[in-house]
A = this chain, B = another copy of it.
Amino acid sequence: MKACIISIGNELLSGQTVDTNATWLSGKLFEIGIVTTGSWVVPDEQPRILAAIRQASQDGNLILITGGLGPTKDDLTRRAVADYWDVALEFQPELLAQISDFFEKRGKKMAPNNRSQAYIPAGMMALGNPIGTAPGLWFHKDPVHLAVMPGVPVEMKRMFVDQVVPRIARSAEESVVASGQLRCFGAGESDIAQKLGDLMKRGRNPLINCTCGSGEIVLHIIATAEDKKTAQAMIQKDKILLRQCLGDWVYGEDDQTLAAVVGDLLKARHKTIALAESCTGGLLSQMLTEIPGASDYVRAGWITYCNEAKTNQLGLSQEVIADFGAVSEPVARMMAQQAAQKSGADISVSITGIAGPGGGTDQKPVGLVYIAVVVGGDCRVEECRFPPVNRHWVRLRSALTALNLVRLRLAV
């Protein structure tokens, strides 16, 4: 099966919205062994949508369309699909009931123009949208399989995973490509390439690719085999080999985030955690609490953004701040110690630093960050000097480094 993806919307062509749907979809298709051979971004114009569908049906036998299913006049996908397969748009009373139900449950009244979303091309199957108003479409007429989904990424992703993938799987040929990931933190891309040497050679099967962002390195292991089981066994074997090479640089696999790995460690060790953040302003707490079930181990957090918050809320002395400055080893240490004591948590982490763009000096430049981790009363402080790329980057890097320090302390 070969896939073609059509993303519809003027906003995607004006450079104002990034089309993340096509990339996400081709990644998901890849996981189930389907290669995407073409991808088109077309404006909200009927002839252009028709031309793209025509091209896609020549180039592939699985056409995925996202966008243009809304209730407004610039939403033309339903009409174009009906025209291409030369069928009429039919009104579906049960779809209208679902859409008006969606509004009712939220205590709102359906606008009259949402009625247009209850029309679908005759002979096609509507795909329910539990989190939005636009239903999707599924259609199979040999050799073409067609799925039409909303452009809103969260709605598209849910519909694709829950309703489109099972339908594709029923029609797909034997898949022969599988992939897995190992996630690393604490080393640069070239350190890792050096360690791996010939393992990263082109043409090797499994193929090992490397991508990076914010200090995190992801190794992609892509295995080709006669059947899925063999491919997955090859990936497992390589994961073990790579872990032996890279040691504790490897923090997780596949979709795991650093925060999720730390959460799992806390749960496994029956430990609780407290956070005290200055320059990251809640980012570290946010990452930890984003994981479902975080209430099992996250007890409390303090965002002591101004100096008075550090003294009043966490009980730091004004002298230590005056003597060493808010961005200093002793302040980081006391923030973490006080957070542990006040919350009763087993583990605590503090971050204080200069995220920029302003506030840097020669002695204390933008990117200088102190991270303290207390485990069982033992406090260790790390001084980090991150490149001052920008505020967002320094904050993100600080929070990830803090998570990694907790991971290394807990993994022992």
Contact = CB atoms under 8 A, between A and B. Distances in A.
Interface of A: 9-20, 22-31, 35-44, 48, 52, 55, 59, 70-74, 106-108, 110-114, 131, 133, 152-154, 158, 179, 181, 188-191, 193-194, 200-202, 207, 209-213, 218, 220, 222, 275, 277, 279-286, 288-290, 292-295, 298-306, 308-309, 312-313, 342-344, 356-359, 385, 387, 389-393, 395
A158 B286 CA distance: 27
B306 A299 contact: yes
A391 B290 contact: yes
Given A36-B41, A152-B213, A290-B392, 6 more contacts: A13-B38, A16-B27, A72-B210, A154-B389, A286-B286, A313-B343
A281 B285 contact: yes
Given A13-B35, A283-B286, A303-B303, A44 B209 contact: yes
Classify the interface of chain A: helix, strand, loop or mixed. mixed
Contacts of A288: 281
Given A48-B37, A189-B71, A299 B309 contact: yes
Q: A13, A74, A308 — which one has the most chain B CB atoms within 10 A of its CB?
A: A13
Contact of A14 (B220, B285, B304, B357): B220
A9 to B, nearest CB: 7
A325 B112 CA distance: 39
B26 A15 contact: yes
Contacts of A158: 389
A94 to B, nearest CB: 20
Nearest to A391: B292
A298 B286 contact: no
B300 A300 contact: no
Nearest to A179: B14
